[in-house]
Structure 1
């Protein structure tokens, strides 16, 4: 899957809506410096639209696979993915960035559509594949969010994306735990082995607190 490339040059203005602090995944609600950049560039808008569909990819895939296998992880995490979508939509709405959400299993982005089709086909074969798909999606999500965070100086977007990353790390941990309980192992597909090991060896995080 193609990841968005970093794009430079941003403008800075004062202020950050207080409610966005609620999305933060750490206990430090301050950002470095006295000025916070809340200007949304074209690249920032594209990143938000991409992540809206990637979070939808997770929700839709987990909904499909949960209906097939009745695995607790899918039942629980699909609800969290809806909250992730809502967080991204909040930024889109706040900044008057238009978007269209298609029906379940349908995507505007052809790359994400292709991923969805591949994931549901593979995950439909057996429970083991389904859990691997869940880990793949969270693995990918963490990396894509990291790339977008590195590519922006927009403080509002960084806070939301860091919160989504926190949730995705917990989701990955949960899927991998289920995979290992079934007697199998997961090899990271997008994360580096070092980053993956840090996530799996850590405990679940308290996101937003």
Structure 2
């Protein structure tokens, strides 16, 4: 069973529907006790970095439950879109520290003539470091993106996929049991389905 964490800022229904479509049991939970019982966790996110971290930190017991599952029990965790940015230590979008589970930071796209921000639409994500998350994803996998900030990991080995949009950025990251996808796998058809299937099989 996969638990999708509802802290008030996520694309919950689409993720749940995609898991159902690929035949994987999933549930949406906001109760920290349910998070503590999870076998795998999805941390979604839509909106601003500080608002998301504030909700996680201010929901009684939620931050402790997430840290315990990810860092002590080491269950598989994936952050999606803003959820991936929250895995890092900080973002230029806000002032609050992130979860700090993967060394890196979220940076705003630079001002480049002709470069529209947010980065919105389909783009290719090229595999960088081999990972179970990206097994057999196919040639030139394309995913759906909507974001104004991108993640830069400190250690290149934690970059699982990279994408070009004005600059080259880390579009999927991972360290041990913790993964992140900047794109929306739940909106990315067969390529996104494969990412979620791989995560479910971890």
What TM-score does the superposition give when structure 1 sets the normalisation length?
0.29
Structure with the larger strand share: 2
Flag the structure with more relative contact order, 1 or 2, with Cα contacts below 8 A and sequence separation at least 6: 1
Structure with the larger helix share: 1
